[in-house]
Amino acid sequence: MNALLFTDLSVFVLSLLLGFEVIGRVPTTLHTPLMSAANAVHGIVLAGALLIALTADGVLGYALVFVTAAFAAMNVVGGYVVTDRMLEMFRPRKDTR
Amino acid sequence: MTTFDLVIRLTYLAVATCFVLGLHLMNSPATARRGNTLSAAAMTVALLATAVVLVRTGTVRPWAWAALAAGAALGSAAGLLLARRVPMTAMPQLVSLFNAVGGGAAALIGVHDHARHGASLPVVLEVLIGAVTFTGSLIAAGKLQGVLPGRPLLFPGARLLTGALALTMVTASILLFTGGGDAAFVVLAVAAAAFGISMVAPIGGADMPVVISLLNAFTGTAVAMAGFTLGNSVLITAGALVGASGAILTKLMADAMNRSLTAIVAGGFGGGDGPAEAASAQGRVRSLSADDAAIQLAYAADVVVIPGYGLAAAQAQHQLHELAELLRQRGARVRYAVHPVAGRMPGHMNVLLAEAGVPYEQLADLDEANAAMPRTDVALVVGANDVVNPAARRPGTAVSGMPIIDADRAKSVIVIKRSMGHGYAGIDNELYTGPRTGMYFADARRALSEITAAVKTLVG
């Protein structure tokens, strides 16, 4: 195992633990928006789609980049917009009573 | 490390920090929206930084730029359109669809990485998990949307097929590491995609909240693996955060149903969404009219509403809120008791109630609601079934041990339901035949409108 992989592995494990710690505190009320927000965060895979464009050449490579970018962009844009739409409804309403 | 590298890495670190803070802000309804905006802003920065890296290397071919731009534009437009248009009741299938494409993208990056760098453990995991999530989430979304039947799809030998597919994946992975080459890789990808289908198809609609969480955790892990192969720390961090969130929600959901994850994934539990045939206990059921229900509710001082999937299916959240507000204006205390697995996604019911304008202060969780139940004059059950079945308190039934809302301990119970049909667990509900229970057989939306009208005319 080289040093770089070891660093990546440490980042992975620590992020997992941090995730457990942060998300364990979210109340049930917000579980749907939370899941949707988490869904949007893994839309970071779009950055991955960008990176594979670095080496793409030939029709197959371009097609791969196209489909990956389309999937990932749908994930990230849709995810954030729909989470925002849900959360907008959770604003406190002092006027109801 | 050049200055440029340093700046990019620091940017990624800041982005990862903002993702964590964004999720942290989700722990209160007051700050949650800000958290999401922060996370989205960080995402934009991460993508811009990555684009700058691309420009600076100068090795991206014009056609690759075109493919990237066209794909991103098409995907963004589709995501935006769906996110804006889809009704709140259809949220679970939409989230599942977004999850599917995220997993699909991770799997495709795995395809690229294999073609480029050959087999490694992260590549194998990336393709395997990504492909399973892609097809699995599509099946889950199809079931929730009603394109596929919600009931467990099982055929003779289905379990055998799933087992065989799992074995194929393991064998193909081993072959891949021992120089199996492209053929082994194709077999691995195809077997993983088929496994996703055969894993989710036998799982019934009631278990969907758990499945959606689980698949969400899978995608997170697949994205983290893509981070390993691309050597990109922000993908690793973001993927791991999502993996952790999915894992926690999966556990919470499974606990809320008192079922093990293995039992859920093994599948075959419960029925579909369609109205089931009338149950045998019909004879002892006391049927109410809208006027009966209205009088009971109008003179109650303390009302607890227990919404379930029937409310979501009828899209009756606005009618429910109107009735509740009317009762509040008459001086009643109205609270909503929401079971953690009500609806088809963790916390789905809360979103529907929020859409109708119910302030979250009026929502009670399971323990809070149960503690107050003996002092409650009327428990109004709207389209909930298994989550209020007292049979859960006895051993030996399909729902035994599942935490329930103790509606039967209220002074009286009104149940709004289309028929005596069974819930997902497929067993009789003893609450319906209880001495203090009145049943109002109608679609939730119509029933609530009629009761509201009756309250207005009777006690105006």
The residue whose two tokens read 């949007």 is: A40
Please report residues of B whose CB lies closer than 8 A to that of A3: none
Tell me what the pLDDT averaged over chain B comes to.
Answer: 89
Question: What percent of chain B clears pLDDT 90, i.e. is strictly above it?
Answer: 58
CA distance B61 to B57: 11
In degrees, rounded to 5, the angle at the alpha carbon of residue B157 between the alpha carbons of residues B151 and B159 is 70
Please report residues of A whose CB lies closer than 8 A to that of B72: 46, 49, 69-70, 72-73
Q: In this complex, do A32 and B29 lie within 8 Å of one another by their Cβ atoms?
A: no
The pLDDT of residue B277? 40
Provide the token pair at B75: 């995907």
In DSSP terms, B287 is beta-bridged to: B439
The model's pLDDT over B181-226, given as tens digits with 9 standing for 90+, comes to 889 999 999 999 999 999 998 887 778 888 899 999 999 999 999 9
Residue B253 sits at φ, ψ, to 5 deg, of: -65, -45
Task: Count structural domains, chain A.
Answer: 1
The model's pLDDT over B304-313, given as tens digits with 9 standing for 90+, comes to 999 988 898 8
* pLDDT average, residue stretch B143-167: 84
CA-based nearest residue to B334, from B368, B290, B380, B296: B380
The pLDDT of residue B275? 41
The pLDDT of residue A97? 40
What residue of B is the nearest CA neighbor of A80? B40
**Residue A22 maps to a domain:** no
- What letter would DSSP give residue A55? S
pLDDT at B5 over 60: yes
pLDDT at B421 over 80: no
Please report residues of B whose CB lies closer than 8 A to that of A24: 248
Contacts of B112 (CB under 8 A, 6+ apart): A52, A55, A61, A64, A68
CB-count burial class (<10 Å; 0-12, 13-18, 19+) for B280: exposed
Q: In this complex, do A18 and B101 lie within 8 Å of one another by their Cβ atoms?
A: no
B376 sits in the region (left: phi over 0; alpha: psi -120 to 50; else beta) called beta
| Catalytic positions of B, written as ranges | 386
The model's pLDDT over B344-368, given as tens digits with 9 standing for 90+, comes to 777 888 889 988 989 888 988 888 8
Please report residues of A whose CB lies closer than 8 A to that of B104: 71
The pLDDT of residue A96? 44
What residue of A is the nearest CA neighbor of B223? A45
* B412, B376 contact by CB (below 8 A): no
Higher pLDDT, B277 or B438: B438
* pLDDT average, residue stretch B90-111: 95
User: How many angstroms separate the CA of residue B6 from the nearest CA in chain A?
Assistant: 16
The pLDDT of residue B272? 46
The band of B49, judged by pLDDT with boundaries at 50, 70 and 90, is very high
Please report residues of B whose CB lies closer than 8 A to that of A6: none
Provide the token pair at B111: 């395809």
The model's pLDDT over A32-69, given as tens digits with 9 standing for 90+, comes to 889 899 999 999 999 999 999 998 888 999 999 999 99
CA distance B440 to B284: 14
The pLDDT of residue A27? 84
pLDDT at A93 over 60: no
CA distance B328 to B359: 13
Of B16, B99, B360, the CB nearest to A90: B360
Q: What 3 state SS string does chain B have?
A: CCHHHHHHHHHHHHHHHHHHHHHHHHHCCCCHHHHHHHHHHHHHHHHHHHHHHHHHHCCCCHHHHHHHHHHHHHHHHHHHHHHHHCCHHHHHHHHHHHHHHHHHHHHHHHHHHHHHHCCCHHHHHHHHHHHHHHHHHHHHHHHHHCCCCCCCCCCCCHHHHHHHHHHHHHHHHHHHHCCCHHHHHHHHHHHHHHHHHHHHCCCCHHHHHHHHHHHHHHHHHHHHHHHHHHCCHHHHHHHHHHHHHHHHHHHHHHHHCCCCHHHHHHCCCCCCCCCCCCCHHHHHCCECCHHHHHHHHHCCCEEEEEECHHHHHHCCHHHHHHHHHHHHHCCCEEEEECCCCCCCCCCHHHHHHHHHCCCHHHEECHHHHHHHHHHCCEEEEECCCHHHCHHHHCCCCCCCCCCCCCHHHCCEEEEEECCCCCCCCCCCCCCCCCCCEEEEECCHHHHHHHHHHHHHHHHC
In degrees, rounded to 5, the angle at the alpha carbon of residue B137 between the alpha carbons of residues B182 and B84 is 125
A 31-70: CB under 8 A from B: 31-57, 61-70
CA distance B131 to B186: 12
CA distance B379 to B358: 18
Of A24, A48, A66, the CB nearest to B235: A48
**Residue A46 maps to a domain:** yes
pLDDT at B85 over 70: yes
**Residue A37 maps to a domain:** yes
Higher pLDDT, B18 or A24: B18
CA distance B254 to B247: 11
The band of B279, judged by pLDDT with boundaries at 50, 70 and 90, is very low
**Residue A36 maps to a domain:** yes
The pLDDT of residue B384? 86
Question: What percent of chain A clears pLDDT 70, i.e. is strictly above it?
Answer: 92
Q: In this complex, do B240 and A16 lie within 8 Å of one another by their Cβ atoms?
A: yes
Q: In this complex, do A45 and B88 lie within 8 Å of one another by their Cβ atoms?
A: no
How many residues belong to chain A?
97
**Residue A2 maps to a domain:** no
- What letter would DSSP give residue A56? -
CA-based nearest residue to B132, from B203, B219, B229: B219
Q: In this complex, do B64 and A61 lie within 8 Å of one another by their Cβ atoms?
A: yes
CA distance A54 to B254: 42
CA-based nearest residue to B319, from B289, B269, B357: B357
* pLDDT average, residue stretch A7-35: 89
The band of B267, judged by pLDDT with boundaries at 50, 70 and 90, is low
The pLDDT of residue B278? 42
**Residue A85 maps to a domain:** yes
Q: In this complex, do B74 and A70 lie within 8 Å of one another by their Cβ atoms?
A: yes
pLDDT at B151 over 80: no
The range of the structural domain enclosing residue A76 comes to 32-90
The pLDDT of residue B283? 52
The model's pLDDT over B313-329, given as tens digits with 9 standing for 90+, comes to 888 999 999 999 999 99
| C-alpha distance from residue B423 to each of A33, A42, A74, B370, B387 (Å) | 26, 34, 35, 21, 9
For the complex shown, is ipTM > 0.95? no
In the Cβ-directed half-sphere of B383, how many Cα atoms lie within 13 Å? 24
> Which of the residue ranges A24-28, B174-178, B217-221, B445-449 would you say has the lowest mean pLDDT?
A24-28
Q: Is A15 helix (H, G, I), strand (E, B) or coil?
A: helix
Contacts of B222 (CB under 8 A, 6+ apart): B103, B106, B107, B110, B125, B126, B129, B130, B133, B239
**Residue A15 maps to a domain:** no
User: How many angstroms separate the CA of residue B247 from the nearest CA in chain A?
Assistant: 8
CA distance B401 to B266: 19
The model's pLDDT over B159-170, given as tens digits with 9 standing for 90+, comes to 889 889 999 999
Provide the token pair at A35: 């899941």
User: How many angstroms separate the CA of residue B155 from the nearest CA in chain A?
Assistant: 32
CA-based nearest residue to A38, from B267, B313, B347: B347
The pLDDT of residue B307? 93
CA distance B430 to B379: 15
Domains of chain B: 1-85 (no CATH), 89-272 (no CATH), 279-459 (3.40.50.1220)
Size of interface A-B (CB pairs under 8 A): 383
* B235, B167 contact by CB (below 8 A): no
* pLDDT average, residue stretch B51-61: 92
pLDDT at B460 over 70: no
In DSSP terms, B415 is beta-bridged to: B381, B439
**Residue A62 maps to a domain:** yes
Tell me what the pLDDT averaged over chain A comes to.
Answer: 89
* pLDDT average, residue stretch B240-253: 91
